[in-house]
Amino acid sequence: MRSNFSIVPRAFVLIVALICSADAAEDPLPSWNDGVSKKAIVAFVAKVTDKDSPDFVPVPDRIAVFDNDGTLWCEQPMYVQAVFVRDRIRAMAADHPEWKNQQPFKALLDNDRIALADIGEKGLVEIVTTTHSGMTTEDFSLLVRNWISTAKHPRFDRLYTACIYQPMVELLTYLRANGFKTYIVSGGGAEFMRVWTEPVYGIPPEQVCGSSVKTRYELRGDTPVLMRLPEVDFVDDKAGKPVGIGKFLGKRPIAAFGNSDGDYEMLRYVTSGKGARFGLIVHHTDSEREYAYDRESPVGRLVRALDEAPTRGWTVADMKRDWRVVFPAAK
Amino acid sequence: MRSNFSIVPRAFVLIVALICSADAAEDPLPSWNDGVSKKAIVAFVAKVTDKDSPDFVPVPDRIAVFDNDGTLWCEQPMYVQAVFVRDRIRAMAADHPEWKNQQPFKALLDNDRIALADIGEKGLVEIVTTTHSGMTTEDFSLLVRNWISTAKHPRFDRLYTACIYQPMVELLTYLRANGFKTYIVSGGGAEFMRVWTEPVYGIPPEQVCGSSVKTRYELRGDTPVLMRLPEVDFVDDKAGKPVGIGKFLGKRPIAAFGNSDGDYEMLRYVTSGKGARFGLIVHHTDSEREYAYDRESPVGRLVRALDEAPTRGWTVADMKRDWRVVFPAAK
């Protein structure tokens, strides 16, 4: 009898363990609450990977594009790259005493929000090209690498690279496990992102499309380098996103993920292709765990894409409702 | 006794079969003659993939870039894309009676080599933008697809896509089998190549960098398209090749393959990086099986890269000596 008793609980434990591991294996998106958004994602992946489905998509065509700011990581209270620019200006100010009396630098150094709001696109371009050019691509990467390894989010007091969205990281992994190639298509600087996207998102530099400055091939002694020039090459935002997709990918992806009207044209372009398509908007609705913003926000403004989502068949992921956690657990 | 006799030859056959299959498995480059070029390729791949080697390179950094014209397929007697352009002009001439008296179109329609030599860069840009713009990217791809499926090389009487170099196709496959990502970095049009590189070389559109025209996002009815504009966006040749690598890849590849001075800067840029590097030049030395040309050729001119190859450690593959076959066997 004794052996029978001992067998029953062991078998029971085994069955429970099997059920649990099966559950875990079946849920590649544990940070997503069960609901319409998660269901829509899983249903899309299931049909494009099922050879017997009329919506089956061969592996080479399984390309998914992701906006970065506000879609994969936190963009509030200001774009991370804008913080990098501000910190660069501060670090460079010692060598540029004239900036104390020269806009747009003065506004930035004084943290003068009223003057800053007034610098316009010309001022912005001047700031970005000043901080992002006059060095080789490799020196620039080193600057970003050093900065991003210590810079912290002012509210969450964690590295910016830890202010990424855990549910979206799971989504990237899930798509790749199903044969997708995952790309970033962002208004941010390509070379700003390429330094850290591989360790943080599993997206290698060559799968990062972004805005860029022009570069020139030069020799330093006998060593060729690419020198960053103070001239904008490409702005990968709004209608520039589909253009960037054409440049970099040369084909229409089948899934697009964004969070603002800067992603509207990309969402339209991707989801209007033939066959199964998927578009998703991350809607920031959670002021407690992250931020709540859409129509009125200067950063990540979301109006048109949100209004048209229902008729265009785009899934709206409601951060508060759909995400079990927002950021990865602290390490 | 009988059973013994029968066993001996069967064992012998088995051993021979094993040896032969082992041989085949050990030679991933059967169209390369044994010699210094093949040895150099195999030695490079062996050391960068051996975890115990000081030259080991992790998979994400194993990126190899290939020129296309003259490196992966035949570029003589004229660039394939130039033939495409000529055929487009002829096809479009019916709708453009004015071209009969208007350069540079007249020269092309009359096949007037003297006038053609005189059209200059401006004429060339006019021809290319006329034939390559004013349509969506998808319509352009369709034009290329239709043309390339029937256009034949005048001398070899086979499809241009069958005038690819079998040894180089084996090399692409060999590198990929060893964890490399293979990219094309070509002066040719990105969208001209992207249509056929995947079936022909196993290189998907998103791994093809090339020259490009600007495009614009537009709506056709309710469907977004990319319209090709009559304006050059980027020339991916000479010093433009490293610039293109910076744009598209954001990192220095570890191996580069070219055949002309148009690849010189790319070879320099790639092979001057830290750690193990590999540069190879395809030298066209075989007028019987293909063409023999270098210093004096208007197409694929090779002077500086050839002269500097020994001091820069670049391997020169001599087509006549190193390649057992040039083109794939006819199907």
Instruction: Please give the pLDDT value at position B114.
Output: 83
User: CA of A258 to nearest chain B CA: how many angstroms apart?
Assistant: 17
Disruptive mutation site among B211, B214, B226 for chain A (greatest number of A CBs within 10 Å)? B226
Per the omega criterion (within 30 degrees of 0), is the bond before B9 cis? no
On whether the pTM is more than 0.80, the answer is yes
C-beta neighbour count of A182 within 10 angstroms: 24
Alpha carbons B329 and A157: distance in angstroms, whole number: 64
Give A31's contacts (C-beta < 8 A, 6+ positions apart): A166, A167, A170, A323, A324, A325
Instruction: Please give the pLDDT value at position B314.
Output: 98
Alpha carbons A31 and A71: distance in angstroms, whole number: 15
Instruction: Please give the pLDDT value at position A10.
Output: 58
8 A C-beta contact, residue B271 and residue B253: no
Whether residue B242 and residue A223 make contact (CB cut-off 8 A), yes or no, is no
Whether the CA torsion A204, A209, A211, A213 is positive or negative: it is positive
How would residue B125 be classed by pLDDT, with cut points 50, 70 and 90?
confident
In angstroms, what CA-CA distances link A236 with A233, A302, B2?
10, 17, 79
Give B-chain residues touching A273 at CB under 8 angstroms: none
Establish if B289 belongs to a structural domain.
yes
Dig out the tokens for B148 from the structure. Answer: 């390339």
Q: Strand pairing partners for B73?
A: B69, B164
Largest distance between two CA atoms of chain A: 91
DSSP state of B136: B
The DSSP result for B208-264, as a single string, is EEEEEEEEEEEEETTEEEEEEEEEEEE--STTHHHHHHHHHTSS--SEEEESSGGGH
In this predicted model, what pLDDT tens digit does every residue of B193-225 receive, in sequence order?
A: 999 999 999 999 999 999 999 999 999 999 999
Dig out the tokens for A208 from the structure. Answer: 């990062």
Give B-chain residues touching A265 at CB under 8 angstroms: 217, 224
Q: ipTM of the predicted structure?
A: 0.90
**Total domain count, chain B:** 1
Give B-chain residues touching A250 at CB under 8 angstroms: 137, 190-191, 194, 205-206, 208
Q: Where are the beta strands (DSSP E) in chain B?
A: 63-66, 181-189, 208-220, 223-234, 255-258, 278-285, 292-293, 315-318
Whether residue A249 and residue B198 make contact (CB cut-off 8 A), yes or no, is no
Establish if B15 belongs to a structural domain.
no
Alpha carbons B61 and A293: distance in angstroms, whole number: 39
Whether residue B60 and residue A204 make contact (CB cut-off 8 A), yes or no, is yes
Establish if A300 belongs to a structural domain.
yes
Dig out the tokens for B291 from the structure. Answer: 């063409």
Alpha carbons A254 and B227: distance in angstroms, whole number: 20
Whether residue B246 and residue A60 make contact (CB cut-off 8 A), yes or no, is no
Instruction: Please give the pLDDT value at position B3.
Output: 45
For Cα atoms A164, A193, B205, give the angle at the middle one, nearest 5 degrees. 110
Establish if B222 belongs to a structural domain.
yes
CATH of the domain at A196: 3.40.50.1000
Establish if B250 belongs to a structural domain.
yes
Pick from A297-306, B97-106, B155-164: least confident: B97-106
Give A-chain residues touching B198 at CB under 8 angstroms: 60
User: CA of A58 to nearest chain B CA: how many angstroms apart?
Assistant: 13
Instruction: Please give the pLDDT value at position B296.
Output: 95
Instruction: Please give the pLDDT value at position A2.
Output: 45
Q: Which residue has the tokens 């747009």?
A: A104
Establish if A128 belongs to a structural domain.
no
Per-residue pLDDT of chain A (331 residues; tens, 9 = 90+): 444 444 455 555 555 555 545 555 679 999 999 999 999 999 999 999 999 999 999 999 999 999 999 999 999 999 999 999 999 999 999 999 999 999 899 988 888 878 877 887 788 888 888 898 999 999 999 999 999 999 999 999 999 999 999 999 999 999 999 999 999 999 999 999 999 999 999 999 999 999 999 999 999 999 999 999 999 999 999 999 999 999 999 999 999 999 999 999 999 999 999 999 999 999 999 999 999 999 999 999 999 999 999 999 999 999 999 999 999 998 7
Residue range(s) defining the domain that contains residue B236 = 28-78+159-322
The DSSP result for A46-110, as a single string, is HHHH-TTSTT---GGG-EEEE--BTTTB---SS-HHHHHHHHHHHHHGGG-GGGGGSTTHHHHHT
Alpha carbons B323 and A64: distance in angstroms, whole number: 40
Give B-chain residues touching A183 at CB under 8 angstroms: 206
Disruptive mutation site among B195, B207, B227, B247 for chain A (greatest number of A CBs within 10 Å)? B247
Establish if A169 belongs to a structural domain.
yes
Establish if B126 belongs to a structural domain.
no
Whether residue B251 and residue A191 make contact (CB cut-off 8 A), yes or no, is no
Rg of chain B taking only CA atoms, in angstroms: 23
First to last CA, chain A: 48
